[in-house]
Amino acid sequence: MLNEEMQVIFIFIERKRHDEFFDIFIVQGDYMNLSAYINIIFNGICIGGLYGLTSSAWSFQCGALKFANFAYGASLMATMYLTYFGIREWNIPAFIVMPLILIFNFGLGMLMRKVLLKNENRGTQIITTMALNLIIINLVTFVFTGFPRDMALLEKRLYITETISIGATQFTAFCLSAVILIGFNTFLKKTWTGRAIRSVVQNRDAATLMGIQSEKILDQAFALSYLLIGISGMLLITMFQAEPNYGNYIQTIAFVVCVSAGLGSLSGAFGTGILVGVISALIQTLLGSQWNDIVLFGLFIVILLVRPNGIFVSKKNVAKTF
C-alpha cells in the first residue's frame, strides 16, 4: 500500500513538472454521456453494498461488542482462499463448501474470542489481533503462494436499457447483503437472544443479574459476527481475486466506513458502504484511478473533523449502539 502511495505522489509531481496536469484533467470525462455515468454509479452502488455488509461485521465487533479485531481482514481473506480452494482446487461441490466455510468461521470466531479476546484491555486486543493478522497472512502465503486466485466466473450483465447494465453477480451480492443485514438487525431487535446480546453489551452486570450468561452471550455474538465475515468472503471471491494482502485493503475500507457511519450502527455501515462505493467510482471516473485512495481518505479526515461520532449519528444519540 505504501509503495502505491509513493507511486501516486511521484506521478503527481511528475505531472506538475511536465505541466500536463490540466491537460489530462480536461480530457477526463469530456466525452462521457449520461448512461456511462449511470453505469458507473450502479456499479459503485453494488460494490458499495457489499463493502457495507463486510464493514458491518467489523462495526458490530468493534462498536457493539467493543472488541478491537484487527485480524478481521485476514479472516476475510482466509475465507476467500478456502472457498476458492474448496471449489476450484479440491473440487468439493459448492453446496458442501458453503456450510463448511460457515462452520469454520463460527469456530474461528469462538476460538478467537476464547483465547485472544478474553483480555478486555483494548490495547492488548489490538496488538494480539494484529499479530494474528500477520500470522494468517504469512500462513496463507506459505501454503497457497502469493499468486492471486480467481474463481474465473464470468458475470452476466442484466440490461436495463440498451446502454445501461448491471452485473448479475454484483446485483445479487447487493441484494443478499441487504437481506442479510436486515435479517441480522431484526434478529438483534426482535429475538430474545438478540436482546440479550444488546443488554450484555450495554450493561454487563445488570444483564447477569437478569439471569443472562454474559460471557457465553458475548462468545456467541462474536462467533455470529464471524458468520457475517464468512458470507462476505464467499460473496467477494465470486467477484474479485484473492491475494494475501486483500484483507488489509478490506480492513482499511471497513475502518473508513465504520468510523464514518458511527461505530456500531449496522444500517449506517450499509449506507456508508454504498456511499463509499459511489464516491470511489466517481473519483476514478472524474479524476483518475490513482486519486481514489487520496481523495477517499481525505474525505474521511474531513468527516471525522466535522462529525466525530459518525455521519449517521446525531449528537443526542452518541453512544447509541444499534
Partner 1 sequence: MKKIIALTLSLLVLIGSLAGCGNSDGKGTTETKSTETTEAGTGKEYEPYKISMITQLTGDNTFGGNEYKNGAELAIKQLGGEINGRKIEMVFADGPTQEATLAEFERLYNNGSRAFVSGYGCIADRAFASMVDEMEATYLSLAWDADLIQGESDYFFRIGANVTDFAKGAIEQAAKIGEDYLKIPADELKVAFVYNTRLAHVMEPMKEKMAELGIEAVVFEGYPTDTKDFVPIITKMQSAEYDIFIPLQGVTDGTPFQKKMFELNYTPPVTFGAGVYYDTPIFAELGDDITNGIMTQSYTTPYIADDAAAGIKEFREEYEQIYGHAPLTHALQAYGGVYIYAKALESLDPADWDDTKKVAAAVKALDLDFGELPWYWGVKFDELNSNTRANQFITNQWIDGKLECVYPENLKTRDAIVPWK
Partner 2 sequence: MMLMSVENMNVHLGGLHIIQGVDFHVNEGELVVIVGANGAGKSTTVRTISGLNPCASGKVMFEDAEVTNMSAADIAGKGISMVPEGRQLFPELTAKENLLMGAFHYRKNRKLVQEQLETVYNMFPVLKKYEGRIASTFSGGEQQMITIGRGLMSRPKIMMIDELSLGLAPIVIESLFKVIKELNATGMSILLIEQNARQALKIADRGYVMENGVITMEGTGMELLNNEHVKSAYLGL
Site for partner 1, rule CB under 8 A: 1, 3-4, 7-8, 10-11, 14, 24, 27-29, 31-33, 36, 39-40, 43, 47, 115-116, 119, 128, 131-132, 134-135, 137-139, 141-142, 145-148, 150, 152, 154-157, 165, 167, 240-241, 243, 245, 249, 280-281, 284-285, 288-290, 292-293
Measured at the CA of 232, the angle between CA 237 and CA 113, to 5 degrees, comes to 125
Contact between 196 and partner 2 by CB under 8 A: the answer reads yes
Contact 274, 175 (CB under 8 A): no
Beta bridge partners of 157: 167
DSSP track, 117-148:
TTS--HHHHHHHHHHHHHHHHHHHHHHH-SS-
Contact between 312 and partner 2 by CB under 8 A: the answer reads no
* Among the listed residues 106, 70, 63, 109, the one whose alpha carbon sits nearest the alpha carbon of residue 202: 63
* Among the listed residues 292, 165, 177, the one whose alpha carbon sits nearest the alpha carbon of residue 231: 177
Q: Which does 192 bind (CB under 5 to 8 A by kind): partner 2, partner 1, none?
A: partner 2
Instruction: Tell me which DSSP letter residue 289 carries.
Output: G
Q: Which does 161 bind (CB under 5 to 8 A by kind): partner 2, partner 1, none?
A: none
- Nearest distance in Å: CB 131, partner 1: 4
Q: Which does 243 bind (CB under 5 to 8 A by kind): partner 2, partner 1, none?
A: partner 1
121: cell is 484491555
Q: Which does 69 bind (CB under 5 to 8 A by kind): partner 2, partner 1, none?
A: none
Contact between 192 and partner 2 by CB under 8 A: the answer reads yes
Contact 50, 41 (CB under 8 A): no
- Nearest distance in Å: CB 10, partner 1: 7
Contact between 209 and partner 2 by CB under 8 A: the answer reads yes
* Among the listed residues 107, 104, 109, the one whose alpha carbon sits nearest the alpha carbon of residue 65: 109
Q: Which residues of this chain interact with partner 2, rule CB under 8 A?
A: 192, 195-196, 198-199, 202-203, 205-213, 319-322
